[in-house]
Amino acid sequence: MSWDKAIPERYHGNAQCMMLMQRILHTISPTHLRILYLTWPSSEHPIPLLPVSLPSLSELYAEGVDLTPSVQSGMAPQLKILHITSLGVGSRDIGSVLAHICPEVTHVYIRGSARCGPEGDPFLLFMHAFTNPHKPMRELFPTFPRWLSDQDLQAMAGTAYTSPIDPLRLSSLRKLVIGFTPIYVDPLEDGNRVVHKACMESLYLHVAMGGVQHAWRNARLGIPLNVYFGGRELLIFSPEPGRHEDLAARDRVEKLEVLKAQRFARSTGEHGRHDWLDM
C-alpha cells in the first residue's frame, strides 16, 4: 500500500497520514492480514515499522520506516519475512527492537541507505551480533587495512570494540541480508565521501568474514558476499546503482510464485512440497 495512492493530498502531513493509514488497516481487518507492503513519505518525524499490531502477518515490505525503541510500533508475532528499504534511522540495538516487534522473524533484508550518527554504527553492530557476538570487535581489526584510524573504528563499534556484545534475541533468524553502506552524518576529516564509502564497504566485509585478511577486496569488486555459519547465512551486497531495485523486483516475483504454489498445495491437500524460506 503506497501512501500517495491510498491517502488524499490533504492527509499528507505525518500525523494525518499515520492516522488515516491506521484506519485503513483496521478497515481491512488486521487480524487476517498476512502480506503487507507499506511505503511512507519522507518525514522529519520517526515512522514506526507497523502503525498497528498485525497478529497474522507473515511477510512485510516496509519503506521509509525507522527502527528505534523510542518509536511505538505495532507487533507482528507471526512475522517471518521482513524487507526494509529506505530505512530512516536505526537504533544502536536493532536486534532488540526487532525482537520486540517480530520475535519469530526468520529472514531480514535491509536495503537502501540510512543516516547514522558518528558513533555506534547500528548495522555494523547488528551484523556483528549475528555473526561473532562473543568476540570483541577489536580482535577483528588488526588485519584491516588502515584506511580508518583506531579512533574511527572505536567510534563505530562503540562498547563492542573492547567487550563482547549480547547475542541477538532473535533465535529464529536464519538469514540476514544487508544491501547498502550507511551514509554518515559526519564525513571523514578529509571530506572525501568516495573514500569513506569504500572504507565502509571494506569494513562491513571484513567484520562479516570474522577478520579474515583481504576479504575487503570483494567489496571493491562489487561481488556479493555469502557467509554461512551454524545453519545461518549472512549476505552483503555492495551498493550499486539499480541493484537494490532489481533484487527487490526479483524477490517479489519469486515470492508470488511460491505463494501461488502454496495455495495450490493447500487446495489439493499436498503439503510440505514447497519451502519458501529456503532462498
- As a whole number, the mean pLDDT across the chain is 72
The fraction of the chain above a pLDDT of 70, given in percent, is: 59
Going 39 to 51 to 123 to 167, the CA torsion angle's sign is negative
* Inter-residue contact 57 to 33 (CB < 8 Å): yes
Tens-place pLDDT, residues 60-84: 999 888 888 877 788 999 999 999 9
Tens-place pLDDT, residues 108-157: 998 765 555 445 677 788 888 888 888 888 888 776 766 677 787 787 78
* Inter-residue contact 89 to 66 (CB < 8 Å): yes
Going 251 to 252 to 253 to 258, the CA torsion angle's sign is positive
Tell whether the model's pLDDT for residue 91 goes beyond 80: no
Tens-place pLDDT, residues 11-50: 445 667 777 777 887 777 778 889 999 887 776 677 888 8
Tens-place pLDDT, residues 219-267: 455 567 788 888 889 888 765 544 445 555 555 566 666 666 666 666 6
Nearest 5°: the CA angle 24, 83, 261 is 85
What residue ranges do the domains of the chain occupy?
1-105, 109-240
